[in-house]
A and B are shown apart, each in its own frame.
With several copies, the nearest count.
Chain A
Amino acid sequence: MNIYEEDILDHYESPSNYGTLEDPDISYEEDNPLCGDKIRMELKVEDGIVADIRFSGHGCTISQAAASMLTEKIKGQPLDEVKKLSKDDILEMLGIPLGPVRLKCGLLALKVLKAGAYGLKGWPGEEDEESGE
């Protein structure tokens, strides 16, 4: 499985929902300290539903394609669905395996979304790290 799948390149080349919103209800930006990739997410929320969403920023194919795909997935859905999205959902969405370094690129968009909507810190998937037998 190649990282440079057509599908991912398509999203990178022609991202969905790229840009900004006027008067967003949620607006949040963060970068990946490992590489400097940056993503901003802006959302309009109506009756708990993601009425509109845009992303902007810069970065590699994976981080930008993941952001584009995520906006498609979440638009029109209840905002609370965001909270349930996991690392695995993103991997499934991208359809390629990612090592721990590139995983951070793939998860940046979701991290920004969760932080913006719920103030959740930490990388998606880290909540799975609760240890114990």
Chain B
Amino acid sequence: MHAQPMNDALTLHTLDVEAIRNDFPILKQESDPRLIYLDSAATSQTPDCVVNAMDEYYRTYNANIHRGIYRISEEATARYEEARKKIARFINARRSSQIVFTRNTTESINLVAYSWGSANIREGDEILVTVMEHHSNLLPWQLLAQRTGAKLRFIEITEEGLLQLDDLDRLLTERTRIVAMTHVSNVLGTINPIQDITAAAHAVGAKVLIDAAQSVPHLPVDVQQMDCDFLAFSGHKMCGPTGIGVLYGKLDLLEEMPPFLVGGSTIRSVQREHSIYADPPAKFEAGTPSIAEAIGLGAAVDYLRKVGLEAIYAHEHELLEYAHQKLSDIEGLTIYGPKPRQKTGAISLNLDGIHPHDLAGVLDVSGVAIRAGHHCAQPLMQQYDVIATARASFYLYNTLEEIDRLYDGLLTAKKIFTRRRR
């Protein structure tokens, strides 16, 4: 038996979570113990409508796109391009040709670092990132800096896990070519003030790439309002399938950028020694793309829009408020990062004297799935002087009762480990 939410005022009221849970077969699965999935920041669960959209492709119009002059290929082409339009609309891009399909956020960022980076970064230039970046938004810039002789600079964070923006004036100079930063920290949940930073970056002539892997799934994102130059995110973190990611870019930039991965589909014409490349997005989608996955992501975006991003954001906020309050009475517990007000649904924590792996291991015994490790953010770990943290993260299908189970599990871990401490 698990405790009911103790506080009536905290009963969930923004989303019909039970109805939502019915869309996710994995959450309805009989198992002992039942799955309590608190790792959506790593990858989200997939609703049936998304799986069905892909199955429909494979079972009724499986064909390669863009070149086939027969019905199922015309159908596949239409659905693939329709998915692109849905995604453009979802982030309010002006045109669907600004949406490039990739495998994941990581590939999207590498594309910019190689293509835009090689054409625009020279020795002595500066690339500005933050210490809270995921490795996927740090390593491509490290390599670019090493290749070109450019310099990486870092925006530091406060103890509370907010960006130290006092530093910004000093860090942003006319040598800064690009600011590459995360919208939402995958470890701390911190929501960064993108619009302000983008404006400041543009004022010195720098471009801005936003790692939106943790924001596009969880809150309304409007690229025109943000005014960012590039935005990257992944399908598998937003109810979509694996194997599909997105790079959004301003059209003039995408047009100027040299090709990156090349091959089938990226061209206008090919001669033995020389080729002319196509317009974006085709220029950047080399070879047979993730057709079923793009269509699946289109279905995921339909699903998220139906539920509503504002509602999802509000729901996660309720879960966060409840969790912060509930967990705060566990002695020896540290939560990293800001107050719920300034973040989305992730809680990184440590419990004195217990390795985060062991926390995750004990929780797993009662079916609670959380993540433990460096979360691909070692520079941030170094900043907090920890090797690892345990992270619980939420999404539209999570409930208050699941947070109670997390709480119970943390207490169990404490019991197992402290009983034995000398």
Which A residues form the contact surface with B (CB < 8 A)? 2-4, 9, 13, 31, 33-37, 58-62, 99-102, 105, 121-122, 126, 129-133
Contacts and interface: CB of A to CB of B under 8 A. Distances in A.
Contact of B69 (A33, A102, A126, A130): A102
A27 to B, nearest CB: 19
Interface string B63-100: 00011110101110110010001001100111111000
Given A59-B355, A100-B77, A101-B67, A126 B374 contact: no
A13 B421 CA distance: 7
A9 B416 contact: yes
Interface stretch (B8-16, B320-328, B356-364): B356-364
Given A60-B361, A101-B66, A129-B95, A35 B416 contact: no
Contact of B96 (A3, A37, A101, A129): A129
Contacts of B88: 129, 131
Given A60-B355, A101-B69, A33 B94 contact: no
Contacts of A133: 89
Nearest to A59: B355
Nearest to B94: A130
B89 A33 contact: no
Given A37-B357, A100-B78, 4 more contacts: A4-B358, A36-B381, A60-B361, A131-B92
B97 A126 contact: yes
Nearest to B420: A13
Contact of B357 (A13, A100, A105, A122): A105
B357 A33 contact: no
B314 to A, nearest CB: 20
A34 B95 contact: no
B74 A101 contact: yes
B278 interface: yes
A131 B95 contact: yes
Contacts of B225: none
Contacts, number: 100
Interface of B: 66-69, 71, 73-75, 77-78, 81, 85, 88-89, 92-97, 267-269, 278-279, 282, 355-358, 361-362, 365, 372-374, 378, 381, 387-388, 416-417, 420-422
Given A35-B374, A60-B358, A122-B279, A99 B89 contact: no
B357 to A, nearest CB: 3
Contacts of A122: 97, 279
B291 to A, nearest CB: 13
B73 A101 contact: yes
A38 to B, nearest CB: 8
22 contacts: A4-B358, A4-B361, A33-B267, A33-B269, A33-B278, A35-B67, A35-B372, A35-B387, A35-B388, A36-B373, A37-B357, A62-B361, A99-B71, A99-B75, A99-B78, A101-B66, A101-B67, A101-B74, A105-B357, A126-B97, A129-B88, A132-B89
Q: Which 10 A-B pairs have the closest CB atoms?
A: A99-B74, A60-B357, A131-B89, A60-B355, A33-B268, A36-B387, A131-B88, A100-B77, A35-B373, A129-B96
Contacts of B365: 2-4
B91 to A, nearest CB: 9
Contacts of A102: 69, 74, 357, 361
Contacts of A130: 94-95
Contacts of A13: 420-422
Contacts of B278: 33
B387 A131 contact: no
A32 to B, nearest CB: 9
Contact of A34 (B92, B355, B373, B416): B373
A3 to B, nearest CB: 5
A3 B70 CA distance: 12
**Most chain A beta-carbon contacts within 10 A, residue among B73, B278, B355, B373:** B355
